[in-house]
Homo-oligomer: A and B are copies of this chain.
């Protein structure tokens, strides 16, 4: 193994990264700096994380509050594109990886580290996302992926490894479901979900109420959109992160934002997960509702094309690429006209835009009933249709001559 002096580890405080600290020190004979990204995964996960890192042998632990930046600079731009992976997935884990990688790299450069380390397994997407971002941001730094190097294969192995070294760890042996959370979403994998014919059970959902147990009374929430970004909720101006927190509460209460998906991973296999994106699902519906008012047919189609393309780009960890910037620039132009207000109804898992308006609306009663000679003369339709269908007509006449 090549020479490493100081490595910055993306540290979560969980079992895996707790074991990685001593393993790095033993196997690379290097200093280990723990880097913790606060992307809104919740106070429970962050509590005491620094003490844990130091107890595991880290020389230092840095915690970066990335919550506002995550929502403002990664989630909101993605929302403008309308990206949804494979028709369902709102890209919760995917969007958080580039910002964590970027902050981790910044930390590494700050502390003069010569290597980066993450705790992702060798069968998943996240290793690809992290390392693709590392390659784009700091190709000179060595990357260490312990799960692809060591022989440990189970929680038991890890717990034994820590116990042998007298490193305290509160993790339990049994952990049926694996979860990943940030401000935008929480994912649950494993357990009964490993068989696609199994229904998800109550343990597969971590945040949201079961729609069947959500309130019997629907609730309305209003959202204000400017240039494709949510700027106020229920009449109050809010920062992107605060808007998300506010809408998460509403969505969780009404069972909004659950999906149960089998998806194609980047590494060629499929996986199944239950994902919850309560506030995000409301935001998505709100933006799409304003788009209905303001985008013309070609623009709407192109926005959908961008969204489809961007869903792969984000899922595939290609954030720090020219292609990403290009797609974001295209979406940003389209979003300039996406201004308006939407009232959404939340009810037992449903979120429905029931009222919408925009100063940029291309729909208007006034136009629809305009005097004929001013905007639309019904007789124009004949000419439109004749030219529109001319190629079909010529083709058919050709056929008849044969």
Contacts and interface: CB of A to CB of B under 8 A. Distances in A.
Given A211-B350, A267-B387, A123 B333 contact: no
A199 to B, nearest CB: 5
Nearest to A300: B86
Interface string A340-355: 0001000111101111
A139 B394 CA distance: 8
B304 A378 contact: no
B347 A135 contact: no
B354 A326 contact: no
A121 interface: yes
B132 A388 contact: yes
Nearest to A270: B363
Interface residues on A, range: 35 or more
A292 B86 contact: yes
Interface stretch (A43-51, A236-244, A257-265): A257-265
B260 A353 contact: yes
Interface centre among A194, A270, A298 (most CB of B within 10 A): A270
Interface string A386-402: 11111111111110101
A271 to B, nearest CB: 7
A333 B327 CA distance: 9
A267 to B, nearest CB: 5
Nearest to A199: B354
16 contacts: A82-B87, A128-B388, A135-B389, A136-B392, A138-B396, A139-B397, A261-B292, A262-B356, A298-B323, A299-B322, A305-B308, A347-B348, A360-B398, A364-B394, A380-B387, A381-B383
Number of copies: 4
Given A308-B301, A348-B347, A354-B260, A362 B292 contact: no
Given A148-B378, A385-B128, A195 B365 contact: yes
Interface in A166-187: none
Contact of A376 (B123, B367, B395): B123
Contact of A384 (B267, B302, B308): B267
Contacts of A321: 296, 298-299, 392
A263 B295 CA distance: 9
A272 interface: yes
Contact of A368 (B128, B271, B304, B396): B271
Contacts of A308: 301, 304-305, 308
Contact of A390 (B304, B375, B378): B375
Contact of A263 (B212, B292, B350): B292
Contacts of A300: 86, 264
A229 interface: no
Given A288-B87, A298-B323, A332-B329, A127 B385 contact: yes
Contacts of A312: 297, 301
A258 to B, nearest CB: 8
Interface string A113-144: 00000000111000110011001111110000
A202 interface: no
A198 interface: yes
A376 B386 contact: yes
A221 interface: no
